[in-house]
Each structure stands twice: as C-alpha cells, then as structure tokens.
Chains A and B, each alone.
Chain A
Amino acid sequence: MSALGVIGGVVQPVLIVAGSPLLVGLMRQVRARLEGRAGAGVGQPWRDLRKLLRKERIAPRGTSEVFRFAPLVLVATTLVVAVVVPFVATESALDPVADLFAVVALLALGAVALALAGLDTGTAFGGMGASREMTILALVEPTLLVAIFALSVRVGSTNLGAIVSSTLHDPARVISPVSLLAAVALIVVIVAETGRIPVDNPSTHLELTMVHEAMVLEHAGPDLALVELASAMRLSVFLGLLANLFVPWGIATEATPLALLIGVLALVVKVGVLGGLLAAGEVFVAKLRLFRVPELLAGSFLLALLAVAASFFLA
C-alpha cells in the first residue's frame, strides 16, 4: 500500500460522491439546452438530495430488512469501486481488489441488492423492474467480460492499475482496432448498465418503459436520496472507468500535490466531456423497445468478440 494509493483512495471517493450529482446535473443541462429549454442548473441534483434527506423515513408495510439495507449496499459497493479503481492515481489503495472482474462483480452486487428490494415490496412494479433489470444484467455480462478479456489479454492481467499503466507507456495502442472495438462495446454496456437511453429512460415513470425507476418506486425520503446518489455515482464510475481504460493521460503516477491536482482535473474534464457527449447523443435517439435491447447487446457482444479476435488477427 503506497502513499499514492492511500491518497488516491481518499481523494477518489470524495471526488466521486461530490461530483457525481453535478455530472447528472450537467447532463440534464446539456439535454435541456439542446432541446431549447433553460434547464434547472447544474446544482439541481444536489438540491434534490438535500430536500430528500430532510424528509421522513418510510417503511412500506410488509417489507423486510432487505428493502432497508439495499440502498446502503448499493452506495457501499459503488464507494468501494470508487476507492479501488485508478481514477486519479495509478496505484490503488486496495490493490488485490482493483481487479476488473471484481469491480464489475461489485457493481452487479449493487444492482442485485436493489432488485431484491424491488421484489421485497411485493408490488407488481417492484417485481417488474427487478425482472427487467436482471434480464439486462444477465445479457450485459458476456459483452462486459469479453471486452475485459480483449483489454487484458495484451497486458496479461486483469489488474486495473496494470492495464492503465501499460496504456500510459504505450499510447499507440489506443488507436488500434482492438481498443476501438472494445471501446464501442463497452460504451453500449455502460449505457445499458447505467440505465440511459436507448436502454432505459431515467426520467420516465411509465410502466411500459421503466426499468430502474420501477424497482425504486417504494423508496422515499433519505432512502431515495441514497438510491439517487448511488445511480449518479455508478454513472460517474462507469464513465471514469471508460475514460481511464482508453485515455488514461493526466492520471497521477507520483504522490506530489501537482500531479494529484492534474489527476483530479483530468478526471473531471474527461468524465464531464463523456457525460456531455452521452447526453447530447441521447437527444437524437429514441428509447428502444425492451425486446429490441437484446439485439443491441448481441451487437455489442459481437464487437467485443471482434476486439478479442482482432487482438490475434492483427497482432
């Protein structure tokens, strides 16, 4: 456990927790401006969270502790990921956890906790959301792991620190077909995992279309604040991961204040740009029917597999 790792492990979660609602605010603002609306401002998600935290805690009748613990677990898994993944510094506070498979599985664990909470309410909405979320999760998994496979084969490791530093040392790799195909596949996966258009619409409450919102319909007040914060954090974590897997420049490799500052700024800029692009892209596409989503995921799986294939085709 190096000094750099420890500092990164403290700075990163603080940055993610503080910044992710702003990222969501930024994305809503971009969307609003592109649609010709004024928008509520970048700080609105934080104001929403503050409002929710002041409200009363609710325990819907017939729910068990699974329902009550789910938001905690969801935030906690994302928090652990925020600590271990090299966002700001290349070294990790908990190196044996900074494994790409472990990180992916941790994020899946959060989704599972929420799905169980949805089922625990016993309402049709909760069950429906859980069922859809789990279906998408199951289908995303092959793409995700094969894309990871493509990225880690050339490094010979699934350790995130190792992957990031090897890209830092060999920048030419970024514009190879392997990287590009894997990046496209991962973007589709991230869109699916974070429930963005065209897979899910985060701002809908229509039973035909909602996935994530259906699961969390019974959460209110501070619990809802946690869920909202966690989904914002998941989005930032995924975007940060994408940014640093393919464009790791700016990340701190030594424990000096300047390097760390640059690392923080680089992360903020990269994630902000990616979020802005994602929001801008969402304006132009419609939400897919739920049963067209497998098609999208099959396509992204093919791209991931092509990335693996390209890593030995075009060696």
Chain B
Amino acid sequence: MYVQLLDLACGALLLTAVLVLWRRELTVIIRMFALQGAALAVLVGVLAAQENSAELWAVAVGVFALRAVVLPYLLRRALAGAGESRRETRPLVNVSASLLAAAVLTLLAYAVSQPLVELAPSAATQAIPVGITVVLIGFFVLVTRRRALSQLVGFLLMDNGITAVGFLATTGVGLVVELGVSLDVLLAVLVLQVLTTRMRETFGDTDLDELRELRD
C-alpha cells in the first residue's frame, strides 16, 4: 500500500511536469504546477505516515500550503496583470521536440541517479530518478520558454524536483531547512514577479528576448 501510494505520487509528479511542457496556455500551466505541489505534499504525507513523524506531517502541510496554494495564487495574480499574453506561443524549441527532449532527459536522469539508488535501495530511493527528471524538465522549461511567467514555473518545477529528491533520499531534511528553502523560494517568486511587472511596464511585453535590448 505504502509503495503503491508512493509510486502514484511520483507518477503524478512526473505527469504534471510533462504537462507543463506540453500545454501552451499559461493558466493550464499554472494549474498543473498547483497539482504538482499537491502531489509533492502527498508524497511527503506518505513518507510521514510511513515514518510516523509529526514533524514530517507538518512539513507536508507546509508544502501543500506553499506550493499548491500560495505560489499558484501569486502566479495567477501575475498572469491576471499580464493582459493578453496568456499563451506560450513560440517556445524556442517547438513542443514536439521538447517532449522528445524530455524523453531523453528521463533516461539521463535514470542513468545518473543509479549510483545514488544503489547506496540504499528502497522504495523511496528508487523513485529518486523521478525527482531528478522533474529538475531537468524544469531546467529545460527555464531554458526554452520565452514568457517570463512560464520561466518562473520552470524555476519552481526545479525547486519541486529538488525538494522531492531531498525527501526521497533522506526521508526529510528537517523542518528548519525546509522552512528556510520555502522562504527562499517565496522571496524569489516575489522578486521575479516584481521584475515581470516592471518589464511589462517598460516593454509592454514579457518576452524575455526583449531584454537583449538592454545590452545595446
């Protein structure tokens, strides 16, 4: 039961990451991100139930609050201010190619995480490649998307992946560390949101390629 729930949570983590890559509408992307936050919270919750640790339960609730509620809310607000540019129309790498790239990244993640898994094979550590895949897909989104907002989602995807790897590898990095990281992420999102708003005011657009003009 524990293994199955864990696997399902990991599957959901993976699937939402793929859907972020697949879909073009920013609202859908944000919804997928919120779902991923929920899946991550479930993952932590499953681990908490297994370890029977109140601290982990608290972390699970915190993760849910931050990643499934607060961050999506902030993103949605930024999107509402963004006006008409609600679609990631022309990513630098087209969608089919990025999906195939994600396939390669998955296999890469599996290959690099094997030594890590072999240190202590268990149901949790065997799912580490999933976390690393999410990190890589997040990085890929960050690199190839034009809209500041979808890049932001890419960054948050990376962070979700890192958190997942942390929990899967060590069964919890401690409440304090998690709290610190969460605050960091929140701060980063706020800063980036301000940046996005300023960009739109300056250029009337949030296409990051416009930043090139600053150099000239």
Contact = CB atoms under 8 A, between A and B. Distances in A.
In this complex, which of B95, B96, B100, B102 has the most chain A Cβ atoms within 10 angstroms of its Cβ? B96
B10 interface: yes
A205 to B, nearest CB: 29
Contacts of B97: 298
In this complex, which of A177, A181, A294, A295 has the most chain B Cβ atoms within 10 angstroms of its Cβ? A177
Contacts of A295: 22, 95-96, 99
B172 interface: no
Nearest to A312: B110
A314 B126 contact: yes
Contacts of B110: 309, 312-313
A314 B97 CA distance: 26
Nearest to A310: B11
Interface stretch (A85-93, A124-132, A300-308): A300-308
Chain B interface main SS type = helix
Chain A interface main SS type = helix
Interface in A235-258: none
Interface in B85-110: 95-97, 99-100, 102-103, 106-107, 110
Nearest to A314: B7
Nearest to A297: B96
Nearest to B13: A177
Size class of B's contact patch?
A: 20 to 34
Contacts of B96: 294-295, 298
B129 to A, nearest CB: 5
A177 B7 contact: yes
B106 A305 contact: yes
A299 interface: yes
A310 B3 CA distance: 13
Contact of B126 (A299, A301, A315): A315
A82 B72 CA distance: 49
B126 A298 contact: no
Given A299-B99, A305-B106, A306-B106, A313 B126 contact: yes
Contacts of A305: 103, 106-107
Contacts of B170: none
Given A176-B4, A313-B110, A313-B127, A302 B11 contact: no
A314 B122 CA distance: 10
Contact of B103 (A172, A176, A301): A301
Contacts of A303: 15, 18
A180 interface: yes
A174 to B, nearest CB: 10
A101 B115 CA distance: 35
B100 A302 contact: yes
A1 interface: no
A205 B102 CA distance: 37
15 contacts: A181-B11, A295-B22, A295-B96, A299-B22, A301-B100, A302-B103, A303-B15, A305-B103, A305-B106, A309-B107, A310-B7, A310-B14, A313-B110, A313-B127, A314-B11
Given A298-B96, A302-B103, A309-B107, 11 more contacts: A172-B4, A177-B8, A180-B11, A295-B95, A298-B97, A305-B103, A306-B15, A306-B18, A306-B106, A309-B129, A314-B6
